[in-house]
Amino acid sequence: MKDIKILPGLLKGDIKIPPSKSLCHRAIIAAALAHGQSIISNVVLSEDILATIGGVRALGAIVTINQDQLIIEGCRLESSQNCIIDCNESGSTLRFLMPISLLSNNAVSFVGRGNLSSRPLEPYIEIFKEQDIFYSDTSLPMTIKGCLNHGIFKLKGSISSQFITGLMFALPLLEEDSTVLITEPLESKSYIDLTIDVLNSFGISIINNNYKSFFIKGKQEYKNTLYTVEGDYSQAAFWLAAGALGGDVSCTGLSQNSKQGDRAILQLLKTAGACIEISDSHIKAEPLALQAFEIDISQCPDIAPILAVIAALSEGTSKITGAARLRIKECDRLKAITTELNKLGAQVFEEKDSLTINGMRRLRGGDVTSWGDHRIAMALAIAAIKCEEPVMIHNSNAVDKSYPNFFDDYKMLGGILLERNMG
């Protein structure tokens, strides 16, 4: 475990944004389901991505790591007896691979760490009950055994889109057609768009009926391909915020036509008053006087922590709504960001599914903790830019979950860090 002390100071320069973790998970699994060899390029081996690599290996795929490329020899991913998949803290790994593990009638055990055991699995439990699939428990560690059958799968739109994605991976390989029926308005639509896009790249067709239902034809086959992962807007959000808060940060490696929901950070920063310059080669954020804003983040929940930081340093009172699902992430992110920003001198007020934030010119600084959550750690690091005193972040290595080089990049942009390894 590491603690990092950050001295106040602006960040400036050019930064190549790491690849989208969301797209990388999906591409690895699709390649593992395809016959023949696929190559996934522009990969960062974060803890979550390593968990998915380990998962598809456990199910029979051959994955070779070659610097920032993955060479994947796919198969149907039919598990062997006594297969164990260690998801670490990755909800995507768990929820994507569960339906796939039911393509063969072998027992598969899922284990994990941290908050993963408390993250909900009810939509799959209901399916297991309906289809007489064995499950040993309702949370991790859990063993499941049985064969997934085609049919109509009813899911609430307010649940994590990861359950829908998991079914979209497995259902095309069944003998008969299936439909995923969404019983209330769908949140995080962009993640479903990403899934459908990746599946199309690997030869799988999903028919989207205005996000109310998804028709999935059976007897489809995944096709091997070459796939390059685009840059991650959820990670770019931290550096763009750094630019807007007083620096001059230019991000490269981002797709202008991305379907990532976290691309909303660009419009949000413009609304708050930042200067955002977009060209074919880069997206640049420069500071202007930031003003309060209101946003419903139900379609882009991952950028909520950094939005709270921006709001805390903008003039006026901001409101972040549609945030109920943030309570069941790697930690309770609403409580975490409220608690830690207030330690730095912010005025953040937590409600059931929202935050109200009174902005100010600068924060005080002090000791904070990441709550073991990568996005909380990164958001607090950006908050340090506008603090009067140093910020000590305890358990800063939580960033390894998604962005292991985050603090190296922070230093590269001029940040002054003092690290302390706590063993």
Known catalytic residues are 302
Report the C-alpha gap between 202 and 168 in whole angstroms: 13
For residue 153, report the phi and psi dihedrals to the nearest 5 degrees. Answer: -110, 115
Integer CA distances (angstroms), 105 to 55, 128, 134, 171, 256, in order: 17, 13, 10, 15, 43
The burial class, CB within 10 Å (0-12 / 13-18 / 19+), for 421 is exposed
DSSP labels, 306-350: HHHHHHHTSBSEEEEES-GGGGGSSS-HHHHHHHHHHHTT-EEEE
Residue with tokens 């903008």: 314
**Region at 397 (left for phi over 0; alpha for psi -120 to 50; beta for the rest):** alpha
Residue with tokens 């903790």: 369
Element (H, E) at 357: strand 355-358
Report the C-alpha gap between 128 and 54 in whole angstroms: 24
- Residue 10: CB atoms within 10 A of its CB come to 17
Residue 340 CA neighbour count, 13 Å, CB half = 32
CA nearest to 182, candidates 205, 201, 208: 208
Please check whether residue 169 is in contact with residue 202, taking contact to mean a CB–CB distance below 8 angstroms: no
Please check whether residue 201 is in contact with residue 30, taking contact to mean a CB–CB distance below 8 angstroms: yes
Dihedral sign, CA of 6, 366, 11, 232?
positive
Report the C-alpha gap between 301 and 211 in whole angstroms: 18
